[in-house]
């Protein structure tokens, strides 16, 4: 879907691809945003689904304050930075034994009200390169489905479960894990656009179908959403920030740097129940 380009007064916005992703220049996120700056950053975010900022220097408190400018912050169900429940530490090195986010996902879709978005601040990139992040447009994933498939899935829901992501992959032990049921196709509450809302990390099954049918349909939808045409790729630098819309974009951290170190911190924006 072709849309008219948007003009900005206080920031410069450079798209990464025609579909998803843009770099934003001319703003210092350590300082409080004016109303005009906030409106323009928000508009760029809604337009491009994920936006990126370079050469930022934020304290933890400034990172939290920037996130809160966009609404209430979500507290992750499993882990947070000591003393800062709103902040998640994204850490991988030779001691962790795994790379977080290496499977395609939208954040915490197993929650009853999945996050609206996430803001990741990179502190340390692997010294020899690597550790890029891919983002996929779930708007385009839905829009490029054939009409018969759109008709098939329009009233389907899917069960999203956190056990595999947390207990199996991150070895986080607890008595129960988040689980929720959401539409397979959700409507974005701001833009009104439809987006596919399934992912490899959390989506378990479609309850309206048999187990075999559900697996076949989910495999098809997820593989479709992971096609290269849906994606942009961001090469991190120390001090880079990515802000993505969890309601219409998936992401994947490329696990090509282990055992080198990669450290980041994330705040997450609270969301609403998908419809």
What's 116's domain CATH number? Answer: 3.60.130.10
**162 domain-assigned:** yes
CB 140 within 8 A of CB 229: yes
pLDDT in tens, 187-197: 999 999 999 99
Q: Is 160 among the residues known to form the active site?
A: no
1 inside domain: no
The answer to whether residue 3 sits within a structural domain is: no
Distance between CA atoms of residues 47 and 51, nearest Å: 9
The verdict on residue 184 lying in a domain is yes
Instruction: Work out the average pLDDT over 26-49.
Output: 97
Predicted pLDDT of residue 169: 59
The catalytic position among 63, 74, 107, 188 is 107
pLDDT tens readout for residues 218-249: 999 999 999 999 999 999 999 999 999 999 99
Mean pLDDT in the chain?
Answer: 93
107 part of the active site: yes
Q: Pick the catalytic residue: 63, 224, 251, 262?
A: 251
SS3 content of the chain, % helix, strand, coil (to 5): 25, 30, 50
Residue 4: inside a domain, yes or no? no
Note the pTM of the prediction, 2 decimals.
Answer: 0.93
Write the pLDDT tens digit of every residue in 94-152: 887 666 778 999 999 999 999 999 999 999 999 988 999 999 999 999 999 999 999 99
Write out the residue range of the structural domain in which residue 158 sits: 12-269
Residue 2 belongs to a domain: no
* Residues in Cβ contact with 199 at an 8 Å cutoff, skipping those fewer than 6 apart: 104, 105, 106, 109, 222, 225, 250
The yes-or-no verdict on residue 62 having pLDDT over 70 is yes
Measured CA to CA, the distance from residue 234 to residue 236 in angstroms comes to 6
Give the bridge partners for 50, in sequence order: 244
Catalytic residue among 48, 74, 105, 182, which? 105
Taking 60 as the threshold, does the pLDDT of residue 38 lie above it?
A: yes
Domain count, the chain: 1
Which carries the bigger pLDDT value, residue 92 or residue 251? 251
The arithmetic mean of pLDDT across residues 207-223, rounded, is 98
């Amino acid at each position: 879907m072709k849309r008219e380009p948007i003009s900005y007064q206080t920031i410069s916005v450079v798209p990464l691809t025609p579909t998803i992703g843009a770099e934003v220049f001319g703003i210092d996120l350590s300082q409080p945003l004016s109303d005009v700056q906030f409106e323009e950053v928000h508009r760029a975010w809604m337009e491009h689904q994920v936006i990126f900022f370079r050469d930022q220097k934020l304290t933890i408190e400034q990172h939290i304050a920037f996130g809160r400018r966009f609404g209430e912050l979500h507290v992750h169900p499993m882990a947070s930075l000591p003393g800062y429940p709103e902040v998640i530490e994204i850490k991988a090195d030779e001691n962790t034994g795994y790379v977080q986010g290496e499977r395609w996902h939208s954040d915490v879709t197993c929650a009853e009200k999945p996050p609206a978005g996430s803001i990741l601040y990179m502190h340390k990139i692997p010294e020899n390169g690597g550790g890029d992040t891919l983002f996929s447009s779930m708007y385009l994933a839905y829009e490029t489905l054939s009409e018969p498939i759109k008709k098939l899935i329009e009233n389907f829901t899917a069960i999203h479960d956190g056990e595999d992501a947390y207990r199996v992959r991150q070895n986080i032990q607890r008595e129960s894990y988040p689980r929720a049921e959401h539409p397979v196709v959700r409507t974005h509450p701001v833009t009104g656009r439809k987006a596919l809302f399934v992912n490899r990390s959390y989506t378990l099954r479609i309850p309206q179908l048999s187990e075999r049918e559900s697996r076949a349909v989910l495999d098809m939808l997820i593989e479709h959403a992971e096609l290269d045409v849906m994606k942009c790729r961001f090469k991190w630098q120390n001090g880079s920030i990515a802000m993505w819309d969890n309601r219409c974009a998936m992401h994947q951290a490329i696990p090509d740097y282990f055992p080198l170190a990669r450290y980041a911190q994330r705040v997450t924006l609270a969301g609403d129940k998908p419809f």
